[in-house]
């Protein structure tokens, strides 16, 4: 696959819902060519429940890429925690 002007091959954003466990695993990105792109491999998560594991990027070619690998464990703002059942906001 050949891609132009992209954000690359992305996983995420995971963990944006504090009550939801999110899992991504056993993913292969293979035989790709990217030109004039922001990223190639990008994994984005919020701190929380779940995991990202066994992700493979193989046989990737690129030209004029800003950030070939971008990993972030805290993208954007996380939503505020939900009040406990029966709690009132003062």
Residue 89 lies in a domain: no
The owner of tokens 């046989």 is 59
* DSSP three-state, residue 72: strand
- For residue 76, what is the DSSP state? S
User: pTM for the complete prediction?
Assistant: 0.69
Task: Please give the Cα distance from 43 to 37 (Å, whole number).
Answer: 16
Residue 77 lies in a domain: no
Please measure the distance between the N-terminal and C-terminal CA atoms of the chain and give it in whole angstroms: 54
**Mean pLDDT lowest among 8-12, 39-43, 46-50, 80-84:** 80-84
Residue 78 lies in a domain: no
Residue 9 lies in a domain: yes
- 16-56 pLDDT per residue, tens: 787 888 899 999 999 999 999 998 898 888 877 888 999 99
- Structural domain boundaries, residue 68: 2-72
The total number of structural domains in the chain stands at 1
Query: Are the C-beta atoms of 58 and 27 separated by less than 8 Å?
Result: no
């Amino acid at each position: 696959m050949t891609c132009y002007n992209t954000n690359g091959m992305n996983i995420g954003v995971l963990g944006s819902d504090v009550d939801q466990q999110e899992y991504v695993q056993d993913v292969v990105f293979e035989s790709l060519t990217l030109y004039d792109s922001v990223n190639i491999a990008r994994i984005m998560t919020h701190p929380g429940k779940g995991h990202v594991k066994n992700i493979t990027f193989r046989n990737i070619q690129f030209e004029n890429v800003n950030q070939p690998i971008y990993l972030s464990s805290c993208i954007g703002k996380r939503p505020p925690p939900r009040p406990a059942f029966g709690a009132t906001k003062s």
